Amino acid sequence: MKRVYFIFLFFLWGPKLLFAQEKVLLQSLNSSEKTAKWSFQRWGDSNILPATVPGSVYTDLLQNQLIPDPFFGQNEKMLKWVDTCAWVYSCKFYVDSPFLQKANQELVFEGLDTYCELYLNGQFVRICDNMFRRYVVNVGGSLLKGENVLQLKFYSAEKIAKYRKDLFVKMNHYELPEGERVFLRKAQYQFGWDFAPRFLGVGVWRSVNLRAWDDFLMENVFIETEKVDSVAHMKLHYSYKCELDSVFINSILLIREKGSASSFVPVKIQKVNLQKGEAESIFEFNVSNPKLWWTNDLGVQQMYELYWINAKNQKTIANSEFGIRTIELVQSLDSANNANSASFYFKLNGKPVYMKGANYVPMDVFPARVTHAQRVKLLSAAKEAHMNMIRIWGGGIYESDDFYSLCDSLGIMVWQDFMYACAMYPKLLKSAYLTYTNLNKSDEEYEWRDNYSRIEKHPCIAIWCGNNEIEEGWWNWGWQRSLHYTASDSASIWHDYQERFQQAIPDFLKAQQSHVPYVSSSPQIGWGHPESLSRGDSHYWGVWWGMEPYETYAKKVPRFASEFGMQSWPCYASLKIVLPDSSLNLSSPLFTHHQKHPTGQANLEGYLRMYGLTFNSFKEYLMATQLLQADAMKTALEAQRLASPRCMGSVLWQLNDCWPGASWSLIDYYGEKKKAYYRAQECFVKKYQTPLH
């Protein structure tokens, strides 16, 4: 006990201590490091070219001047061949004796897009088949002292998805809505969307590392708030791998306020007993006099630094940051006699919060090339527009750690979808067989776990949502009729939906002891039904899809507006980057190629006529669409804000773009702010005369 006491004093005296890490050797294999050299080639082609990792085959081809800018003109059409090819990525790296002397050597792939075979020094290692997973591959016994060669053979995502679709139809005698994309765990927007081109591509899209360790390895350490009363009751989650039969660690947990010059304070002495194998565990600790994390409109975004120290050798087991906050989704009936009228709002630290924000889509069709500076610029613009929430849409990607950390620091809460959108997905299978589909239960649960453990720790996370618009699509978009389902077909497909989103995902979150709310789908009721305005969140698309006048927004105000919008074109300066001067006119096929909504131009023309917005030039046309969007958003936001506390959220569609084209964004692909951005900014900052603003 005396030894522990003196260690405490040691830490209290040292506000700027640097703790040595428990011995894990780490070597980056990213191409920016001198320790790795990447190249790529078309499978069967002898032409070997330098590659950038993280990256994409499209960006590598562009960097090697083998293709033109995919976004320029109609280049999308002429580049379809890229998606039909298989590509091989190779990495030469060197390993020294200390790595090989460790008991374990592992390759860690943070993101592989998507179906690929791994080979190390000519030996087959495994197949990877999920863009959203983190693959940890044991390569002990396969590494060589000196030069090693890692090879990744990426198959055509287009061909794999089509093959699986055709086999599914052969086995089940019916199709699933939205075609082949549901048979590959890949970012769905890359298959093409009403705001996005179709560029499937392949590649190593997130970091690659080599690591080595001996007795044990701690992973996925994160802290979350259980509850706050006179103190903050916190939980530290961790998983581990252990080589020995058992390892006992007397450990100390130390914290201090981030940015403080004060000393670290011990908050927990914890005896940890690691057993041979892999496991997950949790222990609790308390923080006295906690400073809470708030959204940017309500307070300070206080974060804490944490060090978990081995008392025996004073080395760091793990270190992390965390915020202290509680989050609750309140869905309570307005009346016991009316099940179709219920609240939908968030309480942050016990305080009801009106959520103001926008939906977020990936910042690029090729997400690996998005930089920290670009994320800072976009999310800072969201804060400057007085947004306190963004919704990460389910047709994109689970975002980077950097993205969520920025949201923490900027006081922006995140509505986090799981990556499923606007389609029915195949059954969760209990065993994998690659001739059919990778969508087996264990694979998807790994996807959920990999992303849960790194996302849940952020205080910005407000809610987990199973998917985007699948329930609405199933009941309201005519899938069952157009695809000629029998009653048995429909029952089977709906059962598979329920199994994934109403059973497996919530069971997974419960097993993780998550304290973040969950809803199965956004929304659960389609906009054509009156009850969509009286309970749950709402995607109101009567304006735009239904061609209703935007004054309808003032008449149809939901409890929580999680999608609504009006399309416009990007700024003139942005279009000049991707269109030749001769195509800067309304009749140019190169211009209309950048309109991906099937009736987008007709809808815009109809609304421009409806509101008497005229134009005499191409520039004036672009401006007219932006003025239309701005007025529509102002009408919606003012009506929703004035309706609080009945309405408690305005999250419009959409914040940003993944390429330079027509869309519902407030900020175009090149970062130019549209007129609607400034209208939203005015509406979000204004104090309306309602109780909860």
What token pair was written down for 124? 């087959």
Task: Give pLDDT, residue 689.
Answer: 59
Domain harbouring 88, CATH code: 2.60.120.260
DSSP E strands in 418-529: the ranges are 461-465, 518-519
Q: Taking the CB of residue 429, how many other CB atoms lie within 10 A of it? A: 16
Indicate whether 293 and 347 sit together in one domain: no
Indicate whether 410 and 390 sit together in one domain: yes
Structural domains of the chain, count: 3
Q: Is residue 380 part of a domain?
A: yes
Indicate whether 490 and 622 sit together in one domain: yes
- H helix runs in 385-440, sequence order: 401-410
Q: Tell me how far CA of residue 496 lies from CA of 445, 504, 521, 550, 646, in angstroms.
A: 15, 10, 14, 37, 35
pLDDT band at 692 (very low <50, low <70, confident <90, very high): very low
Indicate whether 203 and 249 sit together in one domain: no
pLDDT band at 24 (very low <50, low <70, confident <90, very high): confident
What token pair was written down for 345? 């709002």
Q: Is residue 227 part of a domain?
A: yes
Indicate whether 403 and 270 sit together in one domain: no
Task: Give pLDDT, residue 687.
Answer: 79
Q: Is residue 174 part of a domain?
A: yes
* 3-state SS record for 620-643: HHHHHHHHHHHHHHHHHHHHHHHC
d(CA 609, CA 577): 29
Indicate whether 206 and 89 sit together in one domain: yes
Q: Is residue 272 part of a domain?
A: yes
Q: Which of 181, 210, 239 is the last residue of a domain?
A: 210
C-beta of residue 403 within 8 angstroms of C-beta of residue 431? no
- 577 residue type, one letter: I
Q: What is the mean pLDDT of residues 436-444?
A: 55
Q: Is residue 26 part of a domain?
A: no
Q: Residue 603's domain spans which residues?
A: 327-685
Q: Is residue 146 part of a domain?
A: yes
Indicate whether 396 and 410 sit together in one domain: yes
What percentage of the chain reaches a pLDDT higher than 90?
87
Q: Which of 322, 345, 376 is the last residue of a domain?
A: 322
Task: Give pLDDT, residue 328.
Answer: 97
Task: Give pLDDT, residue 690.
Answer: 53
Q: Is residue 459 part of a domain?
A: yes
Record the pTM: 0.94
pLDDT band at 435 (very low <50, low <70, confident <90, very high): very low
Q: Is residue 108 part of a domain?
A: yes
Who contacts 213 (Cβ-Cβ below 8 Å, separation ≥6)?
A: 23, 24, 25, 102, 103, 104, 241
Per-residue pLDDT for 525 more than 50? yes
Indicate whether 494 and 516 sit together in one domain: yes
Indicate whether 168 and 232 sit together in one domain: no
d(CA 59, CA 69): 9
Per-residue pLDDT for 273 more than 80? yes
Task: Give pLDDT, residue 18.
Answer: 47
Indicate whether 364 and 509 sit together in one domain: yes
* 3-state SS record for 52-74: CCCCCHHHHHHHCCCCCCCCCCC
Q: Tell me how far CA of residue 550 lies from CA of 207, 261, 554, 652, in angstroms.
A: 45, 53, 8, 14
C-beta of residue 392 within 8 angstroms of C-beta of residue 420? no
Indicate whether 14 and 46 sit together in one domain: no
Per-residue pLDDT for 631 more than 60? yes
DSSP E strands in 521-593: the ranges are 537-539, 560-563
Task: Give pLDDT, residue 617.
Answer: 96
Residue in 466, 453, 462 with CA at minimum distance from that of residue 515: 462
Indicate whether 176 and 242 sit together in one domain: no
**Burial degree of 504 (CB within 10 A; 0-12, 13-18, 19+):** middle
Domain harbouring 334, CATH code: 3.20.20.80
Per-residue pLDDT for 19 more than 60? no
Q: What is the mean pLDDT of residues 603-629?
A: 97
* 131-175 pLDDT tens trace: 999 999 999 989 999 999 999 999 999 999 999 999 999 999 999
* 222-249 pLDDT tens trace: 999 999 999 999 999 999 999 999 999 9
Q: Which of 273, 294, 322 is the last residue of a domain?
A: 322
Residue in 269, 297, 296 with CA at minimum distance from that of residue 285: 269
Per-residue pLDDT for 436 more than 90? no
